[in-house]
Amino acid sequence: MQKTTVTQPVRSIDLHVHTDYSDGTLSPAQVVEYSIAQGLAAIAITDHDSVEAIPPALAAAVGRSVEVIPGIELSADDQGREIHILGLLIEWRSPLLQERLAALRAARRARILEMISRLNRRGIALNADDVLQLSSGDASLGRLHVARALCCRGIVGSIPEAFTRFIGSKGPCYVPHAAFSAQEAIALVRAVDGIPVLAHPGISLCDELISQMVVDGLRGIEIMHSEHSVQAQLRYTDIARAQGLLFSGGSDCHGTGKGAPRIGSVRVPYEYLEAMKRAKETGCRLHAP
């Protein structure tokens, strides 16, 4: 008699998604709908310096086929180089976290206003309102809002042009984030029982800092990312194995802010999330330093 094999459908997830509570363009409910349409089993909401989208995303996912994982993306700095630390499976209700994030968002707002002043000094007619109307309430403001406003005003023809001419890290109107080190970002994620993950190392290019970050408490690394080449993915898989880090992966979707929504464009195995949940249960319970 012939044997029949029952193959389980491959369950994919996306552990890096932005909403319009930071510099994405989709609302939390739209992100949830889009993920379901993409057949994803889980998504992590990882806004820059904000957890405000987590309650509406969790509410939108009740009784639906997608699991919402609470997350964050923290911007840190190492001598002028930007390093992003994701916090996955965080206890997002923590007052300590909410307080720190509110302060980081206030600093972001001041930074964006300073970038607008620098643009004005160069004769670019861009108002604070042009930028603020692209975000709502207490949203985490970023350079992508400025880039979008420059596009809307017809000052640049594309988002990349805004970065190249004005607000990229080497641009004349760039203002760095308030000082926050990778070590502090990792400690904050661990203080709220999350898994700290180095985001898109293939973009940040900070390989020589990874061992120190591991000493500081880093637990994972984003090996799969929509802007990682196959070589980058292989390289960070090797580094993850050598350093004993958990694998992570995601699209880094910003809605339509960087072209078509990327949710589901990187098919990350569900097993990565299961390994993180196990790691959370079995030993990353450091508390506030």
Instruction: CB nearer to Zn ion: give 130 or 140.
Output: 140
Of residues 223 through 262, those in contact with ligand AMP by CB under 6 A are 254
Closer to ligand AMP by Cβ: residue 186 or 284: 186
Q: Binding of ligand AMP at residue 25 (CB under 6 A)? A: no
159 interface partner picked from Zn ion, Fe ion, ligand AMP, none, CB below 5 to 8 A per type: ligand AMP
Q: Does 23 bind Fe ion (CB under 5 A)?
A: yes
Q: Is 108 near Fe ion (CB under 5 A)?
A: no
Interacting span for Zn ion (CB under 5 A) from 59-67, 72-80, 154-162, 174-182: 72-80
In the complex with Fe ion, the residue whose CB is nearer, 199 or 266, is 199
Based on the shown chain and the rule CB under 6 A, indicate whether residue 100 belongs to the binding site for ligand AMP: no
Residue 199 or 240: which CB sits closer to Zn ion?
Answer: 199
Q: CA-CA distance, 201 to 203, in Å (whole number)?
A: 5
Which residues here bind ligand AMP, judged by CB under 6 A?
A: 23, 48, 75, 142-144, 159-160, 163, 168, 254
